[in-house]
Amino acid sequence: MAVPLFRIFAVRPTFCFTQILSESNRVHLLKMSTSEENSETPLIPLKEGRRFIVECLQAVGTPQKHAEAQADLLIEADYRGHFSHGMNRLQMYINDITSKTCDAKAVPKILQETPATAWVDGQNGLGAVVGNFCMDLAIKKAQTVGVGWVCAKESNHYGIAGMYAMQAMRQGLLGMSFTNSSPFMCPTRCKKAALGTNPLSLATPSKNDDNFVLDMATTSVAVGKIEIQRRKEKDAPIPEGWAQDHEGKITTDANVAYDAGLLMPLGGSEVHSGYKGFGLGMLVEIFCGILAGSNYGTNIRKWGNSIDKANLGQCFIAVDPKCFAPGFEDRMSDLMDTIRNCEPVDPSKPVLIAGDPERNHMKFVDSVGGVRYVKNQINTCKQLAEKLCVKPLNS
């Protein structure tokens, strides 16, 4: 079975810089790609993975409901094939909770609202708790007046942006979500990182349980892709347009790119319209930090800093298509199928719509009954189980 794109669709580069990763973690990252590739590790049913995450989070003082929300977020990422944002992040969230950088007990509160909008204080709670609170609110407003537009300050890392967009989609609405993040993107012409990878997501329903789920960083590629490239073979080059060197110049040296950590915006260089990707990163920052009054741009803590509060800004939008032309899902289905059925340039690589690679991965997981994590992840889980006195992850 071919799942050709899910390694590159929507995997966001927020997980693997040298300063915060041990060598073993980096090997882990390199290897974590598909459930199919880890045949030497045990098959973990999603339910068991969820049980383990919930118990680990409870062990460090997280209330059950909050632990379940965060577990659903991570398991959804693994299920969709975005292993970087799944179980792989558990250790990071636990670190943030134990260092009290994030308050796992915190409940978000509404600071101000209108029939269509709300401004929320996340109270430094878990990303999933803040995200679910805000999207629930956006959905209710969309169901009442057609649109709900909710911005939160004082939030934390909220996992895959698509998680919240899909919550609205499952109610028959268009869902969108956006988050700012630690500086990684170099604006066009600029020598330093001034914006995060700033992802955006749009999820829309369609006929027969089909759907469109766009979940993308506004940078050109994920750092993970640079890492994979540099480990492929000695001195393997990376394509122009992925990253800059310490001087801000475009580099094709994977080692230099990895060390500098200066990602280029979607598009890449100026001649390839990278300023559009930079503009989109700004759009996300405006919807998040600037509207919400959280940290923004270079004020956001560097990735790996677990001392200062993140105070991220996030934005959640729901729109009811029934407020517009009847037949939304029919047209959506027709548009997607028309494009999927277009003749591909390479007959072995069919044209895919955003969400298709993840759909393929989920079918695969369902067919085999779970996911296979890489060895390093299994070891990390074992250590966590011992440290937190939690029942180990079982196949």
Q: Which of residues 93-122 bind a copy of itself (CB under 8 A)?
A: 112-117, 119
Q: Is 160 in the site for a copy of itself (CB under 8 A)?
A: no
CB of 281 to a copy of itself, least distance (A): 10
User: What value does the CA radius of gyration of the chain take, rounded to a whole number of Å?
Assistant: 20
Q: Is 151 in the site for a copy of itself (CB under 8 A)?
A: yes
CB of 95 to a copy of itself, least distance (A): 29
Q: Which of residues 6-35 bind a copy of itself (CB under 8 A)?
A: 8-9
For residue 329, count other CB atoms closer than 10 A to its CB: 17
Q: Which of residues 162-201 bind a copy of itself (CB under 8 A)?
A: 174, 187-192, 194-195
| 315: helix, strand or coil | strand
Give exposure, 90-122, as e/b (b: 16+ Cβ within 10 Å). bbebbebbeeebbbbebebeeeeeeeebbbbbb
Closest CA to 292 of 204, 180, 189, 138: 180
Among 26, 31, 66, 153, binds a copy of itself (CB under 8 A): 153
Contact 314, 155 (CB under 8 A): yes
CB of 48 to a copy of itself, least distance (A): 33
CA distance 30 to 7: 11
The DSSP string of 215-251 is EE-SBSS-HHHHHHHHHHSTTPBPPTTSEE-TTS-EE
Among 32, 54, 94, 221, binds a copy of itself (CB under 8 A): 221
CB of 127 to a copy of itself, least distance (A): 19
Q: Which of residues 324-353 bind a copy of itself (CB under 8 A)?
A: 324-328, 331-332, 335, 338-339, 342-346, 349-353
Instruction: Decide whether 128 or 147 has the Cβ nearer to a copy of itself.
Output: 147
Q: Which of residues 33-72 bind a copy of itself (CB under 8 A)?
A: none
Among 20, 21, 46, 145, binds a copy of itself (CB under 8 A): 145
Q: How many residues bind a copy of itself (CB under 8 A)?
A: 89
Q: Which of residues 247-306 bind a copy of itself (CB under 8 A)?
A: 247-249, 266-268, 270-273, 275-280, 282-283, 285-286, 289-293, 296-298
Task: From residue 2, give the alpha-carbon distance in Å to each of 34, 114, 356, 359, 381.
Answer: 11, 47, 11, 11, 29
CB of 128 to a copy of itself, least distance (A): 22
CB of 213 to a copy of itself, least distance (A): 9
CB of 133 to a copy of itself, least distance (A): 16
Instruction: Decide whether 332 or 371 has the Cβ nearer to a copy of itself.
Output: 332
Task: From residue 211, give the alpha-carbon distance in Å to each of 199, 217, 296, 319.
Answer: 19, 20, 32, 15
Read off the DSSP letter of residue 19: G
Task: From residue 232, give the alpha-carbon distance in Å to each of 16, 229, 304.
Answer: 17, 5, 26
